[in-house]
């Protein structure tokens, strides 16, 4: 049996079904090209019979993709199979994937048929699909709840009819790993022609076991996993591509398996899918979550600084991330502060670590998370964060509407002086930001803007968090108000105050280094 696991991606079919709004043809093609770069073996591009738009998407992707096999879904009906074959015929290599329900509850309640009828429909569907291609996949929908005798008969029948891949889905995420693994094991023991087809699995995450079930199936002989990027899919989603790919890579010595996935493309592909599908990734999501390589505990940070594999079983670089993140919070120890100071060019002995750490803890308790520029400010101006802000908004007025050019007028306190400015923009927030950047003279770029409600109701407080880039560094700012434009202004003023302090620090740092060199 081959030790190569085929990765069948269904982000564009099963994943897209779960979205609030359908993707455009252009967006689907972007994702398809990213999946091709990622190295998926098969990509299910859509369900052509479902709509003219889906037909067009499948055909467009089939024409563009060269290194992955493009697949289309069809029910066990001739018209569905014909639509799939027509959409795919422009592809250099393609697969038709046809399916029918096999569980008793589906056969009797949904299809209103007997099992013998369903068995014959499955066999005829495979035979019809073989008229278009010799690469035909058949799925036994709800296989996890199908009587094992019926499942064995269906698998044997469709393989005899010409199916080259047979998929065993846990459609509703019902089984547990030992149970699902035993289903795969029984099929290999009881289906006489099973060696003529690849056995695939398609597990859902309703009980949080899709990845575990899929890996267990591999251990019992399955050699294709159907999955989606970021685990997108119906209800609680599908088996996550990034998780199974990294499990197989990380535990290769134990599993004895491998894939053709280009692991360094995982992070980039995950971000693209999240953006285009408007489906944020939870921070604690395995492999691709924002916290996946983030360490806050002082004990963990100390271990990672000494040897990364003390708390990282995979490296961020392995999925295309440049490095891990050591969050500086009140739980951080001296070793992390020392490490960050060395990274910024302050060697051990050039400052009082105990004094800096004591000041850091006080600031961390108040602020939550501390950044590099905060450390430098503490080093040179120990009480700077308690002093009045250099920039402060005294007056803010905006005007905008559907047929009105957005304008903003601000009066900002700049040290001892008040400066007034007015500007137009693409919207009220942009107009306000134009004013602030003109007043400060800082040529910055907004790298990230997030708005979230902190309370409930129409008078809820809105919190705006922004990350701005200035001269190669990132600065974070936060604003809170019932008016989101005001909150946005506060956030940017927060940022420009950080930048002002950083520029002050830079001057003192230059003086500090010059003095240190003279001393040496």
> In the prediction, which pLDDT does 24 show?
86
In a domain, 174, yes or no: yes
Closest CA to 276 of 9, 12, 37: 12
Helix, strand, coil in percent for the chain, rounding step 5: 50, 20, 30
Residue ranges making up the domain that contains 485: 391-507
Higher pLDDT, 110 or 342: 110
Query: Does 304 have pLDDT greater than 50?
Result: no
370: DSSP letter? B
Tell me, yes or no, whether 271 and 362 share the same domain. Answer: no
Q: Are residues 423 and 446 in the same domain?
A: yes
The 3-state secondary structure of 225-251 reads: EEEEHHHCCCCCCECEHHHHHHHHHHC
Number of domains in the chain: 3
Question: Mind listing the pLDDT tens digit for each residue in 323-359?
Answer: 555 567 777 887 788 877 777 666 776 677 888 888 8
Residue that terminates a domain, selected from 345, 363, 384: 384
C-alpha to C-alpha distances, 296 to 271, 306, 326, 337, 355, nearest whole angstrom: 23, 15, 6, 12, 21
pLDDT at residue 517 is higher than 70: no
Residues 298 and 426 occupy one common structural domain = no
Quick: pLDDT tens for 238-286. Answer: 999 999 999 999 999 999 999 999 999 998 899 889 888 888 888 889 9
Say whether both 246 and 340 belong to one domain: no
Domain boundary among 384, 408, 434: 384
State the residue for tokens 């942009």.
430
Q: 202 pairs with which residues across the strands?
A: 169, 226
3-state secondary structure 117-162: HHHHHHHHHHHHHCCCCCCEEEEEECHHHCCHHHHHHHHHHHHHHC
Q: pLDDT band for 406, please (50, 70, 90 cuts).
A: very high
- Tens of pLDDT, residue by residue over 200-251, are 999 999 999 999 999 999 999 999 999 999 999 999 999 999 999 999 999 9
Angle at 46 (CA atoms; ends 43, 51), nearest 5 degrees: 165
Structure tokens at 312: 């990282």
The pTM assigned to this predicted structure is 0.68
Is there a single domain that holds both residue 400 and residue 372? no
CATH of the domain at 470: 3.30.160.270
Calculate the alpha carbon distances from 334 to 301, 331, 439 in Å. 10, 10, 39
Instruction: Determine the Cα angle at 297 with ends 291 and 302, to 5°.
Output: 110
Residue 80 lies in a domain: yes
Q: How far apart are CA 469 and CA 442, in angstroms?
A: 10
Q: Are residues 121 and 22 in the same domain?
A: yes
Tokens of 294: 């983030």
Query: Are residues 412 and 337 part of one domain?
Result: no
In a domain, 204, yes or no: yes
């Amino acid at each position: 049996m081959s030790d190569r696991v085929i990765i069948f991606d269904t982000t564009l079919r099963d994943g897209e079904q779960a979205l609030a709004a359908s993707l455009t043809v252009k967006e689907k093609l972007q994702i398809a090209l990213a999946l091709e770069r990622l190295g998926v073996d098969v990509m299910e591009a859509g369900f052509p019979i479902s709509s003219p738009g889906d037909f067009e998407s499948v055909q467009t992707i089939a024409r563009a993709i060269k290194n992955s096999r493009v697949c289309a879904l069809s029910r066990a009906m001739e018209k569905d199979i014909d639509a799939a074959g027509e959409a795919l015929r422009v592809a250099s290599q393609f697969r038709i994937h046809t399916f029918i329900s096999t569980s008793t509850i589906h056969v009797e309640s949904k299809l209103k048929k007997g099992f013998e009828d369903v068995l014959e429909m499955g066999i005829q569907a495979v035979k019809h699909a073989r008229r278009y291609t010799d690469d035909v996949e058949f799925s036994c929908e709800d296989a996890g709840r199908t009587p094992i005798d019926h499942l064995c008969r269906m698998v044997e029948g469709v393989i005899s009819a010409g199916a080259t891949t047979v998929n065993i889905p846990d459609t509703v995420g019902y089984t547990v790993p030992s149970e699902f693994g035993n289903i795969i094991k029984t099929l290999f023991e009881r289906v006489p022609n099973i060696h003529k087809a690849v056995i695939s699995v398609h597990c859902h995450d309703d009980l949080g076991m899709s990845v575990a079930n899929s890996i267990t199936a591999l251990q019992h002989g399955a050699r294709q996993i159907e999955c989606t990027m970021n685990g997108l899919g119906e209800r609680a989603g599908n088996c996550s591509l990034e998780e199974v790919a990294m499990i197989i890579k990380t535990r290769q010595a134990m599993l004895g398996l491998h894939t053709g996935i280009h692991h360094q493309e995982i992070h980039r592909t995950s971000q693209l899918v999240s953006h285009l599908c408007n489906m944020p990734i939870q921070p604690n999501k395995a492999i691709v979550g924002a916290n996946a390589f983030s360490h806050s505990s002082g004990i963990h940070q100390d271990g990672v600084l000494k040897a990364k594999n003390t708390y990282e079983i995979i490296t961020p670089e392995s999925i295309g991330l440049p490095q891990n993140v050591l969050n500086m919070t009140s739980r951080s120890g001296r070793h992390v502060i020392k490490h960050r100071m060395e990274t910024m060019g302050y060697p051990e002995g050039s400052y009082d670590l105990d004094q800096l750490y004591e000041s850091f803890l006080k600031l961390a308790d108040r602020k939550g998370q501390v950044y590099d520029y905060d450390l430098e400010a503490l080093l040179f101006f120990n009480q700077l964060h308690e002093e009045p802000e250099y920039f402060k908004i005294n007056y803010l007025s905006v005007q905008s509407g559907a047929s009105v050019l957005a304008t903003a007028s601000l009066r900002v306190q700049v040290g001892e002086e008040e400066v007034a400015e007015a500007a137009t923009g693409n919207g009220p927030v942009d107009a306000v930001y134009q004013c602030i950047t003109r007043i400060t003279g800082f040529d910055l770029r907004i790298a990230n803007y997030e708005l979230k409600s902190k309370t409930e109701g129409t008078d809820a407080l809105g919190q705006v968090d922004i990350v701005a880039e200035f001269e190669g560094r990132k600065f974070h700012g936060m604003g809170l108000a019932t008016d989101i434009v005001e909150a946005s202004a506060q956030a940017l003023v927060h940022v420009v105050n950080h930048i002002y302090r950083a520029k002050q620090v830079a001057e003192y740092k230059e003086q500090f280094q010059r003095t240190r060199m003279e001393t040496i």
